[in-house]
């Protein structure tokens, strides 16, 4: 579904990503591990097409088609969605009105309940939400938007353990399901704590540092290595 080849990216003239190669197949969930400032969020922003991220070499393909010349809106219309780490507040736009605009009012109640957000559906989006509530709302937003490729920017950061479990279960459920047209989905989760690995069933994990993908491997084994040796390439690699 997603194919990244020899990708180099700069922001304000400064290189932030170097020679990134990554493939994500239908139905797969990958986890991107790395310290703060390693380029993880920059990679997601480039895939989504956020302003300021300029590809200087390489390409990104979604379902075989290049994304380079497409706007953020065009990429969203293709089926790419993101749960942001720090989304804006939207006063005057309630959660229920947002769901109605997406034609997703029928699933709002059940999905909000699964994320312990039933009391939030009449409130304005992110207005007065705590950090953990914002993270849960971002996951609920993806259920409402119904994308095929889902990008999760540190979904467990700032969330209490009880709700990390709910977020992990929701990520696992949505990435392993089909969209409303019956097409398989896929997901890419970035994290520096690795805590989310306790609650999702990732197919592949990648270490990122200094804007480069250093190594890919089995998620649990790779995280154990990181816990003991930091963000380094395993000796047996």
**CA-to-CA distance for 139 and 157, rounded, in angstroms?**
13
Whether 236 maps to a domain, the answer reads no
Q: Residue 237's pLDDT is what?
A: 61
Cβ distance 126 to 93 under 8 Å? no
**CA-to-CA distance for 110 and 90, rounded, in angstroms?**
23
Q: Residue 186's pLDDT is what?
A: 96
End-to-end CA distance of the chain, in Å? Answer: 26
Whether 235 maps to a domain, the answer reads no
Using CB atoms within 10 A of its CB, is residue 110 exposed (0-12), middle (13-18) or buried (19+)? exposed
Helix (H) or strand (E) holding 120: none
Which CATH number does the domain housing residue 204 bear? 3.40.50.300
pLDDT in tens, the chain (237 residues): 999 999 999 999 999 999 999 999 999 999 999 988 899 999 999 999 999 999 999 999 999 999 999 999 999 999 999 999 888 889 999 999 999 999 999 999 999 998 889 999 999 999 999 888 888 899 999 999 999 999 999 888 777 777 888 888 889 889 999 999 999 999 999 987 788 888 888 999 999 999 999 999 999 999 999 999 999 998 876
Whether 237 maps to a domain, the answer reads no
Structure tokens at 12: 């304000």
Q: Residue 160's pLDDT is what?
A: 79
Whether 234 maps to a domain, the answer reads no
**CA-to-CA distance for 17 and 233, rounded, in angstroms?**
18
Q: 149 lies in which domain range?
A: 2-229
Whether 182 maps to a domain, the answer reads yes
Whether 32 maps to a domain, the answer reads yes
Domain count, the chain: 1
Q: Residue 85's pLDDT is what?
A: 85
């Amino acid at each position: 579904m997603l194919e990244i080849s020899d990708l180099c990216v700069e922001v304000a003239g400064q290189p932030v990503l170097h020679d990134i190669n990554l493939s994500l197949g239908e139905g797969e969930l990958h986890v991107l591990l790395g310290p703060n400032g390693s380029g993880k969020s920059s990679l997601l922003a480039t895939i989504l097409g956020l302003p300021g991220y300029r590809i200087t070499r390489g390409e990104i393909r979604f379902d075989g088609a290049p994304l380079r010349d497409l706007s953020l809106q065009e990429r969203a219309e293709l089926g790419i969605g993101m749960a942001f780490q720090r989304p804006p507040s939207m006063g005057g736009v309630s959660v229920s009105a947002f769901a109605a605009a997406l034609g997703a009012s029928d699933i709002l109640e059940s999905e909000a309940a699964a994320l312990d957000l039933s009391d939030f559906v009449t409130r304005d989006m992110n207005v007065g939400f705590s950090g953990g509530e914002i993270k849960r709302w971002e996951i609920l937003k993806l259920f409402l938007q119904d994308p095929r490729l889902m990008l999760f920017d540190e979904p467990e950061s700032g969330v209490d353990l009880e709700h990390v479990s709910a977020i992990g279960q929701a990520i696992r459920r949505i990435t392993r399901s089909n969209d409303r047209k019956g097409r398989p989905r896929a997901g890419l989760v970035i994290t520096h704590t690795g805590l989310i690995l306790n609650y999702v069933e990732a197919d592949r994990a990648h270490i990122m540092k200094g804007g480069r993908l250093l190594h890919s491997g089995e998620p649990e084994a790779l995280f154990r290595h990181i816990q003991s040796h930091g963000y380094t390439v395993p000796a047996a690699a």
